[in-house]
Amino acid sequence: MTPEGTHSHPAGAREPRWPAALALFSVGALNLSLPESLTVGPDWLLLALVLGLTILGALFGRRGWPRASRKIGFLAHGVVTADLLVSMFLLVRSLPSHAVAPKALLGAAAALWLANILVFAGWYWRLDAGGPHARESRARHTHGDFLFPQMTIDPATSPLGGDPDWSPGFVDYLFLAFNTSTAFSPTDVPVLSPWAKLLMMLQASISFTTVALLAARAVNIL
């Protein structure tokens, strides 16, 4: 018998990693739609880097090197985050000179807005409560950097019921990131830790820039 609160989930409860990997690939694919003036190097470079790092991380994981695999995952996420911030800077810098055509500007703003959601959903998934490996080691997700509604329900006593082995998956963090980019604030998930608040502030700032400044500017000059 394992100690209470530290035993593993039932067999088959391990969270799949492919949604997070798919999100990274999607960011790389969105980068292909940006004008050359808004990217660093060839437009395919980001997707190639993500693919290479993901394969390397998977190989490390299969060889039983979880720490190395986790570091590779952080590196891949750092790369896409840096690329997103650089593209945002280049796009804002191009506005006064009208270097990007109006339709291309709208397309770039939409692509960066979507990339913003996917990038930060990945960060929340990787960092909350120690990351996916740490969350899976617990019987139930009862504490973390975000307060999900399921965490406030006691399956044994609440008339609402609930899953006694519930733990947030990538979709939960994707929903959180989507709300942050549309409402510029959390909705049903309060934020508890300083790092999470800072990340959400950064994500909301990027979203506000793309929606309120870039897209509006493109519509006005059509």
Assess contact for 92 and 70: CB atoms under 8 A.
no
Whole-number pLDDT of residue 11? 39
Assess contact for 211 and 113: CB atoms under 8 A.
yes
**Which DSSP state fits 111?**
H
pLDDT range class, residue 174, cuts 50, 70, 90: very high
Identify the residue with better confidence: 212 or 48. 48
Q: Is the pLDDT of residue 220 over 60?
A: yes
Q: Is the pLDDT of residue 38 over 70?
A: yes
Whole-number pLDDT of residue 107? 86
Identify the residue with better confidence: 99 or 222. 99
Lowest mean pLDDT among 82-86, 148-152, 173-177, 200-204: 148-152
Residue 143 and residue 188: Cα distance in Å, rounded? 16
State pLDDT tens for residues 92-134: 888 777 777 778 888 888 899 999 999 999 999 999 988 888 8
Identify the residue with better confidence: 206 or 7. 206
pLDDT range class, residue 5, cuts 50, 70, 90: very low
Residue 122 and residue 199: Cα distance in Å, rounded? 11
Whole-number pLDDT of residue 129? 85
The mean predicted confidence, pLDDT, of the chain is 83
Assess contact for 96 and 216: CB atoms under 8 A.
no
